[in-house]
Amino acid sequence: MFAFLKKAFGKTNDVIKEAAGKKKKKIGKEEFEDILLEADVSYELIERLFEGLPKTINRVQAFNSLISIFQYEARWIEPQEYEPFVEMIVGVNGAGKTTTIAKLGNLYKKEGHKVIFGAADTFRAAAIEQLSRWAERLDIPIVATRQGHDPSAVVYDTIAKAVAKGYDRVIIDTAGRLHTQSNLAEELKKMVRVADKALSGTPHRKLLILDGTQGSSTVNQAKAFDEMIGIDGIIITKLDGTAKGGAILSIVDELKMPIYYIGTGESPEDLMRFGAKDFIDMILDEIFVK
């Protein structure tokens, strides 16, 4: 798993390695600051992390400083807590939302679960077609309609079918057009209300998809969606294609939300659980002698 993580963050590791040069037992604060900046960690966060640290830092001190970012209270919602487990996937167009839904469906199916998709991004015909193709490829049933139809009806029908047919994992796609934010907000709020009518307490988890290539700039997107419907956690995509992997630290610091998974490619298998300790160890392996 750790080797897969290093491969997933290959470009970020390359930037860190180049900035760090030869590995050391200790490193100066200014040099460490430059390395983190190269990986797209925000300057404000770095300054705060370095308060109280000595002028030269060893690996243990660096690790303790970085891991402190993840020490916040957050409720981790896991599928086994509910049956059926209903999750709604949100995010701006182009972040990898539909592909991530396919990856989640593939993961659940491999774990032995009965999965169903709901194609509730009815704003774009392409979104319905793309998710339908994934559903066919993965042999996962889908509830879909035509472009322009009421997305909340798709939400209701998907959950109702899951209950009636014994599906235990329900994954619902949504629209992500932030340029008409007020319309999107009302649409998403209605979808959440309708989900609760179809099955009380649903959706159990609302996951936000963030594009890793956008780095720290995704924080404002996350805040916008959180204000709309309340976000329960994050999946960060496309990390294999960017050197901005350090932005995860800034994102976590700003949002204080769980990161459940990271996307590392285009195939259905390219999804892995995120672990803070492994992530930080991976960064420090490029800087410090073990």
Q: Is 142 helix (H, G, I), strand (E, B) or coil?
A: strand
Q: Please give the tally of structural domains in the chain.
A: 2
Q: What is the pLDDT of residue 2?
A: 55
Whether residue 61 is found in the same domain as residue 135? no
Q: Does residue 259 belong to any structural domain of this protein?
A: yes
Whether residue 41 is found in the same domain as residue 153? no
Whether residue 132 is found in the same domain as residue 259? yes
Whether pLDDT at 168 is above 90: yes
Whether residue 37 is found in the same domain as residue 113? no
Whether residue 262 is found in the same domain as residue 147? yes
Alpha helices in the chain (DSSP H): 2-8, 10-20, 29-38, 43-49, 59-67, 97-110, 125-138, 151-165, 181-198, 218-229, 247-255, 276-285
Inter-residue contact 134 to 163 (CB < 8 Å):
no
**Mean pLDDT, to the nearest integer, of 209-235?**
89
Inter-residue contact 240 to 216 (CB < 8 Å):
no
Q: Does residue 18 belong to any structural domain of this protein?
A: yes
Hey, which of 6-15, 41-50, 61-70 has the most confident mean pLDDT? 61-70
CATH of the domain at 159: 3.40.50.300
Whether residue 207 is found in the same domain as residue 270? yes
Whether pLDDT at 160 is above 80: yes
Round to whole Å and give the CA distance between 65 and 115.
40
Whether residue 156 is found in the same domain as residue 241? yes
Two tokens at 45? 């966060």
CA nearest neighbour of 118 among 162, 83, 84: 162
Name the phi and psi angles at 88, rounded to 5.
-110, 130
Whether pLDDT at 1 is above 60: no
Q: Does residue 154 belong to any structural domain of this protein?
A: yes
Residue 209: pLDDT band by 50, 70, 90 thresholds?
very high
Round to whole Å and give the CA distance between 100 and 94.
11
Q: Does residue 231 belong to any structural domain of this protein?
A: yes
Q: Does residue 198 belong to any structural domain of this protein?
A: yes
Whether residue 242 is found in the same domain as residue 103? yes
Whether residue 44 is found in the same domain as residue 126? no
Whether residue 146 is found in the same domain as residue 125? yes
Q: What is the pLDDT of residue 178?
A: 64
**Mean pLDDT, to the nearest integer, of 229-254?**
88
Q: What is the pLDDT of residue 94?
A: 86
Q: Is 145 helix (H, G, I), strand (E, B) or coil?
A: coil
Whether residue 12 is found in the same domain as residue 87? no
- Domain of 88 in residue numbering reads as 79-274
Q: What is the pTM of this model?
A: 0.92
Q: Does residue 193 belong to any structural domain of this protein?
A: yes
Whether residue 36 is found in the same domain as residue 168? no
Round to whole Å and give the CA distance between 280 and 167.
37
> Which helix (H) or strand (E) is 237 found in, with range?
strand 233-237
Whether pLDDT at 39 is above 90: no
**Percent of the chain scoring above 70 in pLDDT:** 97
Q: Does residue 290 belong to any structural domain of this protein?
A: no
